[in-house]
Structure 1
Amino acid sequence: MSTSHAMLTALKAFHLDNPEATFEELTEHLRNIAVNALEQPQGDVYGLVLSDLAEGLAEAEHSASLTVAQAKALKLAYQVLRAHRDRVEGNVGPLVDLLDGPLGEPIGKGHQSGSAKRDSGLSVPLSVSALQVPATASRSSCEAGSKAVTYMTLFAAYMVERGGDMAPATVKNLTSSAKTVAAFLGEGLDMRSHTRADMVKLREALLVDRKASTVNKLLTTVATLTAWGVATGLIDRDFAKRLTIAKGADSERQAFTAGQIIKLTLACSTGHLRSDWRGHALALGVATGARIGEIHQLRGCDFIQGDDGQWALSINDDNGKTLKNSYSRRIVPLVGIPESVLKALAETNGRIFGMSMSGFSAQLNTAIRDLLGTETGEGLSFHSLRHSMASDLKTAGVSVGIAQAILGHSSGSLAFDLYGGNAAASMGLMAGALRLVR
């Protein structure tokens, strides 16, 4: 999906594409979306579809012509997206607060039926007709007598929407994976009527001559397509969740050695990448262990400096950014990065890295392979920086709570109030831990 298409899709999803719409009409639509999120939580759909909407809204906020009503509704739309994510995580509170507050039912207005709400929810503006998928894949499962939606039909529709931002190598890999899966599912399976048994059978067939980690990659792609298919109305069921294999699936996940971390650090600080955006992204990954998606979304305002001169990185979901879960919100001290680089990044207006996520990931992983002389498939990638941070903190004897606060994991052992009276102490503990390993 191109950037402009992402913005247009987001505006349409929230009825913000109509300059004649009143704030009351826009609020009513947002209310219906919120109610629909309560009635029909969509699991992983937030990561697959709603994250694109958030990015589209962020772009619209900066570049679209908006009326006062549209601008006010756009801010509410952000809140709905975040509340939907919290709903997926099992917390209905934010949605309830919205419905009791800014999205509350107007006095004297009749209550809509559940079906009416669903009809005006995200499923309508994100329908396949709105996204202009091919005619062979544009009929939803509600339409009797339509042509079967095979797995490859679903994949083709997905690529029409998402393929525009993908690197050629990514398209090639996804197409190969899709063909592998389709060969096992067969042309006779209509994805609108697939069952859990079909998905379990697929997993068992894939495991016959493949590693668990390889099968998991294929199953993750399947889950992405089925969740997207439900979100866009192509299919109305999704039995591909929680299929991945846990035992033996992590064998290919590796951390960098201490020597490799040093080599990456030198290339970013004094080597040929010191003035390159790839060097800045790699340096942030080495210093924080942050997820690649978290770094990709960073803005200049996310770099902050305390009264004591300590620089830190705020990883948040402001300005349309999305996070894996609520525990991912955190502030991480920055250690080992030249202050001149941090000042330059902090002065950036808007996003630090403007390219698509697929291009960002592909170029960074290529840079890592070039620097270390490794090959694709050896288990080392940008995400390995996260494994390295976790491993190095553990080896250094850092407490679980501090490590979890740095990496953005759920912590049952130690809570860090980074915005309260203990902020300085918390930052000091984390900075001290990071200096041990970086």
Structure 2
Amino acid sequence: MPQHAISFNRRMAMVTLAAAVVMPGRLLADAGFSGWLSGFAVKARSVGVSDAALKALGRAEYLPSVIKSDRRPAETTRSLQDYIGSAASPQRIKGGQRALSRYPTLLKKIERQYGVPKEVIVAIWGMESSFGAVRGSASVLSTLATLAYEGRRRDLFEAELLAALHILTAGDVSSSRMKGSYAGAMGHTQFMPSSYLAHAEDFNRDGVRDIWSDDPTDALASTAAYLRAKGWAKGQPWAIEVRLPKGFDLALTGRIYSRRLRDWGKMGVTDVKGRALTGAESGALILPAGPTGPIFMIFQNFHVLKTYNYADSYVIGVGHLSDRLAGGRAIQASYPKNPWGMTTTERQALQKALNDLGFQAGRPDGVIGEKGRAAIRAFEASRGMSVTGVPTVQLLAILS
């Protein structure tokens, strides 16, 4: 290790120790953060981060509000009905229509080059930053350093922090302009630093991949490039809303159980107009609000959108908003008060019981999606039960 790095570490350690003696609470956390930051700077220097980028890192601050926000993402704290209602609200649809009208040539060019529908790009833009109006004002370095120091997902955020420092080292943006959200996402479509390094585009050919500019050109093209790289299937929908016949075996539902559309049609699955499904494309059925709520046949592009944000509610929100921008109808099914025939308290208890037994059902928030259903299947299999993945009051009684 270089001697200057050793000396720097010693000085920082002395400052941290002195601070710990005299500073309680928040200030003590800040002192610990400073010590961690100095150690991370040594690691960053060893992988080629420039002195200028390290100087910017040295100005990073510990942000407790970031930790609070990270633990309560909107995708897992709101009902599907509320989330979709916000995602495809009349105001957001109008905003998307204005964006399509304002940038017709640019969006058509992006769609033609990358094969991703312009409505999908605009929907992501609307969801991520309200079409550029809310791009985030927090220092990305401070945000990522705070999340890495907190440690819940340290490896992830250390990698993103290094990526951000490499962006600064390359001169793509100044540290003062590198602003973003509470999770460290940046620009019009909220790219994480690693996604920027891998997929950002200089679409307007001005020599800079600028996703932070008021001009959304590079950001929108970068989003299309990202989706194409992740496997976007040109000409295929993300999902379609469907209906199940009475008595349908719910054990056949879930995103891991894919069949050809014509095979689903033979089992009585129809579109929302009652027409039997046909065709050779493969899709899987998901029930995000249970069997009495909206039911979707999902395709490859559903999974591609999940690489942007893993929450099913986010994918459904983006997908549905893009459908509305393309002239599609609102979701036809109603939303049950008690999804799966269980109260919120019962669903939370079911998730907690599964977690306590080592079956990873996710945070007990009462939203039982694909992760929760996978946990139920694993529990059922471990007990020699019929594997359905269906949450029920009877299953809760067995677990209690």
The TM-score normalised by the length of structure 2 is: 0.25
